[in-house]
Chain A
Amino acid sequence: MSNTMKNSANASQKLMVFVLTMALYGLATLFTELIPKFQVGIVEFSVEYFLFIPLTLAMLFDPMSVALGAATGELVFGEIMLGQFGGLGELEKFITVTIGVYIAGRLVSNPENRKLVGIAAFGGTAIQLLLGTVVDILKVQFAIEDFEAVAGLPESVFATEGFAFANDLLFSGILFCLLPTLFLVPKLHGKIEPLLGMQPRTKETALGNIGWKAILGCVVAFAVAVGAEFLAENGMSLIDWEADWAESSTAFAIGMVVAAAVAVVIVLVMRMRTKSEPVGKDV
């Protein structure tokens, strides 16, 4: 990194890129969340991604800010604003989107090179979808206890997930990621950067090839995503143990009910008091 001064944006420019990506990708995911998917048999036709937005921006600006902005935008606009926040599952999506977009952005050293842009756009989408599929299969495996015991279920999960992956990659991947990126990147290159007060990315000012550090970081991040799912598995055995223990002591459950009832009564009494007194003291 000898040319640090030239290529890396300063902190406020990174914030600008973050805000820009978050707003745009958030808006797009909001639409995709609201438009119902329609299925023909098990073939799902969905406008799954407007992933071309962060892909395009990642090829033009600092990839890390774009990747984080895109993931945050999806989380905030697409999930929290619609009240669809899904807990653990969102962490996985956050991480896979970040990895996919970041790698695609790092791959492109020169936005004028169309071949490179195409490969990076397709590759980024493929990485994101593949990671998502792996985590999805693991998730169903952990969520249903008797996964192997139910006849026909393992095959059906592998079949549907594998099919969804191929379908997404060929349908959404080409139509909504590859083609729009190929259209937008050359068009925006050199036009959008000055609006944020930056130099356009050229061969000389590119961040350089993906080093071991970046790959290692991606692997660790994916491990965290899978780790969240393994946490689910461990929790499962924990509760099994708890269920055994709960069966043996109905008395304990009764105790809990009594304690809860007492708590409700105490709070009710406190409430009555604060209502009768004009100056209520906050707890």
Chain B
Amino acid sequence: MKIGEKLSENILDKLSIDFLRNQVLKNAYGNNDTVIAGMDPRILLIWYLFFGLVPWFVSDIPFLIGCFVLVAVTTIMARVAGLVLFLFGLGVFSQTGYLLIVTLIFGGDASAIAPLLILTLKVATVSLASVTVFSGMDPDKLANGLMWYGCPERLSFSISYAYRMLPILMEEFQNILLSYRLRGNPPEHKSFIGKIKYLVYQIKIIIHSFYPLMLNTAKRSRTTVEVLEIKGYRYAAVNKNVKKIRLSCLKMSNNDLLFLAVSFLWIAVTILVSTLI
């Protein structure tokens, strides 16, 4: 009983807003020195296009296992934050693991395992590939890479903006939340009904704190847009010369080619193995 209490306390500790903020920031800014982060975003996006799409269409188990191993290795290379990996595991389970249990309840038998294994491998490969690319890359690099491929300027602007604003927004939200808590009087939460009341109270506070947050963010977004207008953002967004200048920092190196070549070799070997079996 005591251990259980301690465990739940520990988990609740981990889930504080500070912890979440640290994990997100670490994920976004913390690993600029990895192999993956040093690569050209265009190459990584091509790579992602393959591993994000092809596994959906193939049902060959050796090939899927090969892809999975490769993206697992790249994920380790990208040194992704722990929380993201935990969420990945949870996501894969919630997509396919529970399906297996429900299938068994509805009278399926062991024959359900093979297709579900395929589905699990597909989901896992695709999401690990995206973890590698989107979590391992610098946000600005990612935005530049997307822009090079002709994605709408809005999207790359959103990515850059999000990464810069997120720490401020989170801090502001936390401050508002704390001030509400400070002024509020939370209900007793010893009994079961009290616990439900406490939960409702917490949710209410979160919803209430969005009221000042909305007003503050409205002011801030007006300032942002006005500053952008001063710099001629909407004109620059569609101007080819501006785009050229902005993208001139992208350079392909031998490392990128090596990465592509090794991935290609690995995939070729797995195809060979799957034809031999």
User: Smallest distance from the beta carbon of A11 to chain B beta carbons, Å?
Assistant: 7
Taking a contact as CB atoms under 8 Å apart, the answer to whether A84 and B127 are in contact is: yes
Taking a contact as CB atoms under 8 Å apart, the answer to whether B87 and A257 are in contact is: no
Chain A residues with CB under 8 Å of B119's CB are: 143-144
- Give the total of B residues in contact with A, Cβ under 8 Å: 99
Taking a contact as CB atoms under 8 Å apart, the answer to whether A24 and B210 are in contact is: yes
Given A155-B106, A256-B268: A239 and B80 interface contact (C-beta under 8 Å): no
Taking a contact as CB atoms under 8 Å apart, the answer to whether B112 and A83 are in contact is: no
User: Smallest distance from the beta carbon of A120 to chain B beta carbons, Å?
Assistant: 18
Chain A residues with CB under 8 Å of B252's CB are: 282-283
- One of B2-10, B152-160, B184-192, B239-247 contacting the partner: B152-160
Given A151-B108, A152-B107, A184-B210: A82 and B268 interface contact (C-beta under 8 Å): no
Is the CB of A16 closer than 8 A to any CB of chain B?
yes
Chain A residues with CB under 8 Å of B20's CB are: 31, 34
Taking a contact as CB atoms under 8 Å apart, the answer to whether A195 and B102 are in contact is: no
Chain B residues with CB under 8 Å of A73's CB are: 158, 162
Taking a contact as CB atoms under 8 Å apart, the answer to whether B271 and A151 are in contact is: no
User: Smallest distance from the beta carbon of B111 to chain A beta carbons, Å?
Assistant: 6
A45 to B276, CA, bound (A): 47
User: Smallest distance from the beta carbon of A53 to chain B beta carbons, Å?
Assistant: 7
Which of A82, A144, A254 is the one whose CB lies under 8 Å from B135?
Answer: A82
Taking a contact as CB atoms under 8 Å apart, the answer to whether A150 and B224 are in contact is: no
Given A34-B20, A81-B166, A232-B57: A271 and B215 interface contact (C-beta under 8 Å): no
Interface centre among A197, A263, A282 (most CB of B within 10 A): A263
User: Smallest distance from the beta carbon of A156 to chain B beta carbons, Å?
Assistant: 4
20 A–B pairs (Cβ distance < 8 Å), ordered by A: A15-B228, A19-B221, A23-B165, A27-B170, A30-B24, A42-B102, A80-B159, A81-B166, A82-B84, A86-B127, A87-B56, A88-B53, A144-B118, A150-B103, A152-B107, A180-B207, A192-B214, A232-B56, A253-B268, A271-B255
Taking a contact as CB atoms under 8 Å apart, the answer to whether A85 and B130 are in contact is: yes
**A33: nearest chain-B partner, CB-CB:** B87
- One of A110-118, A207-215, A242-250 contacting the partner: A242-250
Chain A 35-70 per-residue mask, 1 if CB under 8 angstroms from chain B, else 0: 111010010000100101100110000000000000
Taking a contact as CB atoms under 8 Å apart, the answer to whether A239 and B58 are in contact is: yes
Counting from the closest, the 3 A-B pairs by CB-CB distance are A83-B135, A152-B108, A152-B106
Chain A residues with CB under 8 Å of B91's CB are: 84
Which of B24, B222, B234, B265 is the one whose CB lies under 8 Å from A195?
Answer: B222
Taking a contact as CB atoms under 8 Å apart, the answer to whether B254 and A159 are in contact is: no
Is the CB of B88 closer than 8 A to any CB of chain A?
yes
A150 to B116, CA, bound (A): 10
A236 to B166, CA, bound (A): 40
Is the CB of A268 closer than 8 A to any CB of chain B?
yes
Is the CB of A103 closer than 8 A to any CB of chain B?
no
User: Smallest distance from the beta carbon of A187 to chain B beta carbons, Å?
Assistant: 6
Given A12-B234, A143-B56: A24 and B112 interface contact (C-beta under 8 Å): no
Chain A residues with CB under 8 Å of B88's CB are: 84
Chain B residues with CB under 8 Å of A271's CB are: 254-255, 258
A176 to B126, CA, bound (A): 31
A259 to B84, CA, bound (A): 36
Taking a contact as CB atoms under 8 Å apart, the answer to whether A53 and B210 are in contact is: yes
**B135: nearest chain-A partner, CB-CB:** A83
Taking a contact as CB atoms under 8 Å apart, the answer to whether A239 and B162 are in contact is: no
A257 to B73, CA, bound (A): 20
A195 to B203, CA, bound (A): 27
A34 to B159, CA, bound (A): 19
Which of B103, B234, B251, B268 is the one whose CB lies under 8 Å from A260?
Answer: B268
> Which residues between 8 and 33 of chain A lie within 8 Å of chain B, taking CB atoms?
11-12, 15-20, 22-24, 26-28, 30-31, 33
**B142: nearest chain-A partner, CB-CB:** A80
Taking a contact as CB atoms under 8 Å apart, the answer to whether B111 and A151 are in contact is: yes
Taking a contact as CB atoms under 8 Å apart, the answer to whether B57 and A81 are in contact is: no
User: Smallest distance from the beta carbon of A25 to chain B beta carbons, Å?
Assistant: 10
Given A84-B130, A239-B58: A187 and B211 interface contact (C-beta under 8 Å): yes
User: Smallest distance from the beta carbon of B95 to chain A beta carbons, Å?
Assistant: 9
Which of A77, A151, A179, A238 is the one whose CB lies under 8 Å from B107?
Answer: A151
Which of A83, A254, A283 is the one whose CB lies under 8 Å from B257?
Answer: A283
Assuming A151-B112, A153-B103, A267-B258, what are 9 further A-B pairs, CB within 8 angstroms?
A12-B226, A23-B221, A27-B170, A53-B214, A77-B162, A85-B133, A144-B115, A145-B115, A160-B98
Taking a contact as CB atoms under 8 Å apart, the answer to whether A26 and B162 are in contact is: yes
Chain B residues with CB under 8 Å of A12's CB are: 225-226, 229, 234
User: Smallest distance from the beta carbon of A221 to chain B beta carbons, Å?
Assistant: 16
A156 to B112, CA, bound (A): 12
A77 to B122, CA, bound (A): 24
A84 to B162, CA, bound (A): 16
**A27: nearest chain-B partner, CB-CB:** B169
Is the CB of A76 closer than 8 A to any CB of chain B?
yes
**B112: nearest chain-A partner, CB-CB:** A150
User: Smallest distance from the beta carbon of B230 to chain A beta carbons, Å?
Assistant: 11
Chain A residues with CB under 8 Å of B27's CB are: 81-83
A246 to B223, CA, bound (A): 59
Taking a contact as CB atoms under 8 Å apart, the answer to whether B265 and A260 are in contact is: yes
